[in-house]
């Protein structure tokens, strides 16, 4: 009865952490493609190829449902995977939709036509590949009208977080927020559109100011997964063992993950 959570690296652990708190009895197979991280500076074909290879490896662990806890893969590869790659008895879900549903005041899976919503000026912070895909704007347009989105590609932040260089990550976040504010001085809401960024949430909030509502994905995705599994219990795979797999060097990834979540997380070679 396992499910899979995929990220290019450690960022998806923010989602894993919330899922483990929300569904403590659910065995989770976490997969970090650390060898190829970061994805955010790669082109869409490359991201598609790497994501498919990782998800294929996850099927072998007895999971039928994989959450792409990676906005970059969700934005650049998911649609193409859903169109022609995912086997009929498997599911791959992205992390964009729960976030956009929250922003547009919708319940899970409410596919009614787009309507006016409270928020009008939204700042999006994400990797260069996610920003370039315009997937966020596309998903938003299906659900809301009249929302102005200003997107900031946050180059360097994922590398700094993966390297454990908190000071550099903070400095980069501040400069990316400043750059965005020059184009949109008063956003009402900010989307942290990368699963690495919740680790820098305080810095984003400080730089944006207390009156900006900051949305991050971890809890929203955990709620959404719990709801999905209630409706689709058949998508719980045959796997029974929770594990953390990486394409990187397991010792190094274990140390960084333990530092990242501030508790012991033991990775093994994929």
* Sign, CA torsion 208/202/138/225: negative
How many other C-beta atoms are found inside a 10 Å radius of the C-beta of residue 5?
A: 28
Of 207, 100, 110, 193, the closest CA to residue 154 belongs to 193
Closest CB to ligand DGL: residue number: 40
> Token match 């959404």: residue?
224
Of 120, 109, 269, 128, the closest CA to residue 193 belongs to 128
Smallest separation, CB 188 to ligand DGL (Å): 23
Smallest separation, CB 8 to ligand DGL (Å): 3
DSSP state of 112: P
Binding site for ligand DGL (CB under 6 A): 7-9, 11, 37-40, 70-72, 127, 130, 158, 194-196
Smallest separation, CB 18 to ligand DGL (Å): 14
Cross-strand partners of 30: 5, 244
Separation of alpha carbons 51 and 49, rounded Å: 6
Smallest separation, CB 59 to ligand DGL (Å): 21
Residue placing its CB nearer to ligand DGL in the complex, 39 or 267 = 39
Residue placing its CB nearer to ligand DGL in the complex, 158 or 270 = 158
Residue placing its CB nearer to ligand DGL in the complex, 140 or 237 = 140
Q: Is 52 a catalytic residue?
A: no
Residue placing its CB nearer to ligand DGL in the complex, 3 or 237 = 3
Instruction: Exactly one of 67, 70, 100, 129 is catalytic; name it.
Output: 70
Instruction: Exactly one of 129, 194, 218, 270 is catalytic; name it.
Output: 194
Strands 144-145 and 148-153: unpaired
Name the 3-class secondary structure at 25: coil
Active site residues: 70, 194
């Amino acid at each position: 009865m396992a499910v899979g959570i995929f990220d290019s690296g450690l960022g998806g652990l923010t989602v894993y952490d919330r899922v483990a708190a929300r569904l403590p009895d659910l065995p989770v197979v976490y997969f970090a493609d650390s060898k190829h991280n970061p994805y955010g500076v790669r082109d869409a074909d490359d991201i598609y190829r790497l994501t498919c290879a990782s998800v294929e490896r996850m099927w072998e662990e007895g999971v039928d449902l994989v959450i792409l806890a990676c906005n970059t893969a969700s934005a650049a590869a998911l649609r193409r995977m859903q169109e022609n790659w995912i086997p009929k008895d498997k599911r791959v879900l992205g992390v964009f939709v729960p976030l956009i549903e929250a922003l547009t005041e919708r319940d899970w899976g409410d596919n009614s036509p787009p309507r006016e919503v409270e928020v009008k000026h939204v700042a999006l912070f994400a990797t260069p590949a996610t920003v370039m895909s315009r997937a966020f704007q596309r998903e938003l347009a299906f659900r809301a009208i009249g929302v102005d989105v200003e997107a900031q590609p946050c180059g360097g932040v994922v590398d700094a977080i993966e390297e454990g260089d908190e000071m550099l990550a903070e400095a980069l976040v501040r400069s990316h927020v400043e750059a965005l504010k020059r184009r949109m001085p008063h956003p009402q809401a900010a989307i942290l559109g990368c699963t690495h960024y919740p680790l820098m949430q305080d810095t984003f909030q400080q730089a944006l100011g207390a009156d900006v509502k900051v949305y991050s994905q971890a809890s929203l995705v955990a709620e959404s997964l719990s709801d999905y599994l209630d409706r689709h219990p058949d998508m719980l795979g045959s796997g029974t063992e929770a594990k953390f797999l990486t394409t990187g060097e397991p010792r190094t990834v274990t140390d960084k993950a333990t530092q990242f979540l501030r508790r012991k997380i033991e990775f093994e070679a994929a």
